[in-house]
Amino acid sequence: MPSGTTVLSFCLAALVVLVVPGPSVAYVVACSLRHGRAAGLASVLGLELGALVHVVAAAAGLGAVLASSPDLFRLIRYVGAAYLLVMGVRELRPPNDSAPKHRAVPRSRLRMIRDGILVDLLNPKTVLFFLAFLPQFVRPAEGSGPTQILVLGACFVLLAVACDATYATIAGTLAPRINQSPQARRRIKQTTGGVYLTLAGLAVLT
């Protein structure tokens, strides 16, 4: 198990990384402003499930496997980038006025969770954090490396939940007022699409 000093140092460093807005924060805020607080929190759930995948992969040493297999890593990046590209185009597409006004809420929430997972998995900021930053806090004298990664990773996920949920709550509170403006709704939709396209480009170039 990592020592208390190591955990505290890691949490402070992780907090600095989390509070700086990046693609994940932009995604959460855009979802919350466009669909409301509940949808924003659903996107947060997806992001943190993606972060848990990163934690387990790092503990299992899968990051090292991908790093040593460029072809496999490239394939995963291209497939993910293609999916993000599709989501970005979908968001930037002009609305269909003939489409029904109300969609099934459970399905939309599940889609936001799914999209949040993918956004986090392909976010270069998160990938670099788990591949390059987190291992610096693993101390051989403090026990099993995978165990330390799991503990520190869990701390990261809990901090991420607090930070991202705060963004979602604030943005979701402002959503009813902002959504009264068609211009604002269009800009939020464009921002969401821009986040997807940016992540697609970064996934290819990383």
Using alpha carbons only, how large is the chain's radius of gyration in Å? 18
Residue 66 has pLDDT above 70, yes or no: no
Sign of CA dihedral 132, 168, 76, 194: negative
pLDDT band with cut points at 50, 70 and 90 for residue 53: very high
Contacts of 160 (CB under 8 A, 6+ apart): 18, 47, 48, 51
Give 124-183 pLDDT, tens digit per residue. 778 778 877 888 898 888 888 888 999 999 999 999 999 999 999 999 898 888 777 788
Residue 106 has pLDDT above 60, yes or no: no
